[in-house]
A and B are shown apart, each in its own frame.
Chain A
Amino acid sequence: MSDIYDILIVGAGPGGMAAGIYGSRARLKTAIIDKGKPGGQASTTTEMENYPGFFRETTGPGVMGEFEAHAAQFGTVFLKGNVKDVSLEGEVKTVTTANGDTYRARTVILAPGAEPRVLGVPGEGKLRGKGVSYCATCDADFFEELDIVVVGSGDAAIEEALYLTKFVESVTVIVIHDEGVLDCNKRSAEKAFAHPKFRWVWNSVLEEIQGDEMVEGAVVKNIRTGEKQTLEVNGVFIFIGSQPKTEFLKGKIDLDQWGYIPTSERMETNVPGVYAVGDVRVKYLRQVVTAAADGAIAAVAAEKYLEGHVEGRLTREDIEKLTIGS
């Protein structure tokens, strides 16, 4: 243990990296810790055409690479570690990784993001990595010239289904709504409806994934008629939203009933000096552009908080003397 960061950001998705850019550009000692490569969920999607200014053949990993370079250029430190524990009360907060590394900071910006939600149907867990997937870019290659189903009709489901058409023989989309009703944006819906590789099963849910060592079929139930049919497919891609990665924050800050973090307009959590940004927040729209905006707001709010603490309260030097013998 040595340095005390002004801002320590947990998670290197677009929200965390935008906070890094604003924090380090304000000449605050800023670090971002993440277990993997910077980019978060955005780096697992290729189709990305709605981040302002990036529309010429841009991809998720491409835009996230630019975010990373931008933050690094202003001096943001990228740390590697899987954060397992935090201590958020008081003037100096600590963040501890699974390896036992501990980092200290005067403010913490939580940007752990979300992960794909699992459906919870029979066969889903057993066949994960054997035909059940939540990541089209990871696994598309395996399904060349095979038939697959996609569950869901939001932006992620339809955009990833469009990506998968480059590989597979056919994509059957299982949609809970009435015929013609999708949750995704109109542009993606138009593309999908016009695409020859798409098939649609309306008013239906996936009930079971069949197969022993590999996916062999998907049992689909019509919620109007109760009728069931089994589709012969080798792949099941599930895109039914996300769940926040806040297990390590339980009991440390307020979470809502689904595990998301409620914040003020300034991204403040209920703990002073602790902020939350991106998909982990309670919010209306979870996108790269809104995550980035959250990051900017949180970094500026943290800067104001730190100024408050410097004037008339403890300076960084004072804190160094007072805290944990290191």
Chain B
Amino acid sequence: MVELNKENFEAEVLQSKGITFVDFWSEKCEPCMALMPEVLKFVEKNAGRAKFCKLDTANNKRLAISQRVMGLPTLVFYKDGEKVFTFDPAAIDAGGIAAVQAKLDELV
């Protein structure tokens, strides 16, 4: 997964063509840490179908807020640099990674 930060976010996400997936997480967020193994499995399974990135919000708080993310964990799909779908903490809790897989299948 591409590690995002304020230097590369523009190029890797906003200027990127096709589908980009971003996992907003932080080490202090236990639900994020619990979700991480499933996200990694999801990324492995779908390799090549989209660009997969993660953003550690602990060091990139302003960047996360600029993307309207103020709660963790949050998973966002971008298409051609535009935000097209956001899984907020409640949506992740309710649908799990299966819902994220379904959304990716719908988008690609």
Q: With a CB–CB cut-off of 8 A, which chain B residues contact A125?
A: 90
A322 at the interface (CB under 8 A from B): no
Partner of B89, one of A128, A142, A143: A128
Q: With a CB–CB cut-off of 8 A, which chain A residues contact B26?
A: 138, 141
Query: Knowing A130-B71, A214-B70 touch, does A37 contact B90 (C-beta < 8 A)?
Result: no
In the bound assembly, the distance between CA atoms of A128 and B34 in angstroms comes to 20
A36 at the interface (CB under 8 A from B): yes
Q: With a CB–CB cut-off of 8 A, which chain B residues contact A82?
A: 96
In the bound assembly, the distance between CA atoms of A98 and B68 in angstroms comes to 31
A133 at the interface (CB under 8 A from B): yes
Closest A residue to B29 by CB, please name it. Answer: A138
Q: With a CB–CB cut-off of 8 A, which chain B residues contact A36?
A: 30-31, 34-35
Partner of B96, one of A35, A43, A115, A131: A35
Cβ B70 vs Cβ A129 within 8 A = yes
- 8 A-B residue pairs with Cβ-Cβ distance under 8 Å, sorted by A, are A37-B34, A82-B96, A128-B71, A137-B30, A138-B72, A138-B89, A141-B57, A143-B70
Query: Chain A 136-158, CB within 8 Å of chain B: the 1/0 string?
Result: 01111111100000000000000
Q: With a CB–CB cut-off of 8 A, which chain B residues contact A138?
A: 26, 28-32, 71-73, 89
In the complex, what's the smallest C-beta–C-beta distance from A224 to chain B, in angstroms?
A: 33
In the bound assembly, the distance between CA atoms of A260 and B22 in angstroms comes to 37
B74 at the interface (CB under 8 A from A): yes
Q: With a CB–CB cut-off of 8 A, which chain A residues contact B61?
A: 141-142, 144
In the complex, what's the smallest C-beta–C-beta distance from B42 to chain A, in angstroms?
A: 13
Size band of the interface chain B makes with A: 20 to 34
Partner of B28, one of A115, A132, A137: A137
Cβ A44 vs Cβ B30 within 8 A = yes
Count A-B pairs with CB separation below 8 Å.
87
In the bound assembly, the distance between CA atoms of A14 and B79 in angstroms comes to 42
In the bound assembly, the distance between CA atoms of A246 and B89 in angstroms comes to 20
In the complex, what's the smallest C-beta–C-beta distance from B86 to chain A, in angstroms?
A: 8
In the bound assembly, the distance between CA atoms of A37 and B27 in angstroms comes to 13
In the bound assembly, the distance between CA atoms of A98 and B102 in angstroms comes to 14
Closest A residue to B73 by CB, please name it. Answer: A138
Query: Chain B 71-93, CB within 8 Å of chain A: the 1/0 string?
Result: 11110000000000010111001
Cβ B30 vs Cβ A37 within 8 A = yes
Closest A residue to B28 by CB, please name it. Answer: A137
Interface residue ranges, B against A (CB under 8 Å): 26, 28-35, 37, 57-58, 61, 64-65, 68-74, 86, 88-90, 93, 96, 98
A20 at the interface (CB under 8 A from B): no
Q: With a CB–CB cut-off of 8 A, which chain B residues contact A213?
A: 68
Query: Knowing A35-B96, A36-B34, A141-B57 touch, does A129 contact B65 (C-beta < 8 A)?
Result: no
In the bound assembly, the distance between CA atoms of A80 and B34 in angstroms comes to 10
In the bound assembly, the distance between CA atoms of A137 and B73 in angstroms comes to 12
Query: Chain A 37-50, CB within 8 Å of chain B: the 1/0 string?
Result: 10100011000000
In the bound assembly, the distance between CA atoms of A234 and B68 in angstroms comes to 12
Query: Knowing A36-B35, A43-B30, A44-B30 touch, does A139 contact B72 (C-beta < 8 A)?
Result: yes
Q: With a CB–CB cut-off of 8 A, which chain B residues contact A37?
A: 30, 33-34
Q: CB within 8 Å of B: which of A47-64?
A: 61
Closest B residue to A60 by CB, please name it. Answer: B30
- Known contacts A131-B71, A138-B71; 19 additional CB pairs below 8 A are A35-B96, A36-B30, A37-B33, A128-B89, A129-B69, A129-B72, A129-B74, A133-B71, A134-B89, A135-B29, A135-B71, A135-B89, A137-B30, A138-B28, A139-B71, A141-B26, A141-B61, A142-B65, A142-B70
Q: CB within 8 Å of B: which of A85-99?
A: 98
Most buried by A among B28, B68, B88, B90: B28
A235 at the interface (CB under 8 A from B): yes
In the complex, what's the smallest C-beta–C-beta distance from B76 to chain A, in angstroms?
A: 10
